[in-house]
Amino acid sequence: MIKILIVEDEKPIADLLDMSLTAAGYRCECLHDGMAAARALEENRYDLVLLDVMLPGVDGFALMEWLAPTDTPAIFITARGAVSDRIKGLKLGADDYIVKPFEIAELLARVESVLRRCHKTDSRLTLDDVVVDTQSHTVTKGGVPVSLTAKEYSLLLLFLQNKNAALFRETIYERVWGGDFMGDSRTVDLHVQRLRKKLDWGDRITAVYKVGYRLEVEE
């Protein structure tokens, strides 16, 4: 399982990151100051580090010195949105730079993108008897291949990466179809219905009133 270190001194934000990434299938460790993070980086291996810039002890920019020898990818998540700060973070070796406040769906997409770019993604995602191989783009249920369209496959990945999160129809459309949502939910609803039927997930993918859909997974 992919292991992510979250270094964030604001506990509500750290808890939100931890909860969202754990629900998406990642294993997380949270630390709240720079010195503790520096020690952890010397003693442990991580697949990705999420860093605030303004931290007690050692700031996020300085922590990049501990990260450099490990080849561990890093994403800055910070309120410091000045262009000079972004440039500094990227020049220090960060793989991405996200400015607070942020949308969880976008954060998860950026995390996935960095992990994929650095060849650190798990190639298999599983839930119940459904197995998704992200390298071969194949899906099986109980060992039997399931035929999905490209959009249905992308929709399945979106749900698996956002377990227990209520996804707005607008978010689903923009992430799967790649365009601006124009207010017609029939396309999203139709594809969700087809995916439910093909995977027998009528009780897994539930409708959220006035929002969209959620993939229900017991913690």
Three-class SS of the chain: CCEEEEECCCHHHHHHHHHHHHHCCCEEEEECCHHHHHHHHHHCCCCEEEECCCCCCCCHHHHHHHHHHHCCCEEEEECCCCHHHHHHHHHCCCCEEEECCCCHHHHHHHHHHHHHHCCCCCCEEEECCEEEECCCCEEEECCEECCCCHHHHHHHHHHHCCCCCCEEHHHHHHHHHCCCCCCCCHHHHHHHHHHHHHHCCCCCEEEECCCEEEECCCC
Asked if residue 214 lies in contact with residue 165, where contact means CB atoms within 8 angstroms, the answer is: yes
Stated pTM of the model: 0.60
Q: Which residues of 168-181 are buried (b: 16+ CB within 10 A; e: fewer)?
A: bbbbbbebbeeeeb
88: confidence class by pLDDT, cuts 50, 70, 90? very high
Q: What is the pLDDT of residue 159?
A: 92
2: confidence class by pLDDT, cuts 50, 70, 90? confident
For domain 124-215, the CATH class is mainly alpha
Count the alpha carbons within 13 Å of 109 in the hemisphere toward its beta carbon. 14
User: Residue 218: pLDDT above 70?
Assistant: yes
The yes-or-no answer to whether 3-117 and 124-215 have a common fold is: no
User: Residue 55: pLDDT above 80?
Assistant: yes
Which two three-digit tokens encode residue 150? 């490209």
Model confidence pLDDT, tens digit, residues 130-189: 998 877 788 999 999 999 998 999 899 889 888 888 999 988 888 888 777 676 778 999
Is the bond leading into 56 cis (omega within 30 degrees of zero)?
no
Asked if residue 204 lies in contact with residue 149, where contact means CB atoms within 8 angstroms, the answer is: no
Model confidence pLDDT, tens digit, residues 61-78: 999 988 888 888 999 999
User: Residue 95: pLDDT above 80?
Assistant: yes
What is the CATH code of the structural domain delimited by 3-117?
3.40.50.2300
Radius of gyration in angstroms for the set of CA atoms belonging to the chain, rounded to a whole number: 19
Model confidence pLDDT, tens digit, residues 36-49: 999 998 888 899 99
Model confidence pLDDT, tens digit, residues 11-45: 999 999 998 888 777 889 999 999 999 999 888 88
The ranges assigned to domains in the chain are 3-117, 124-215
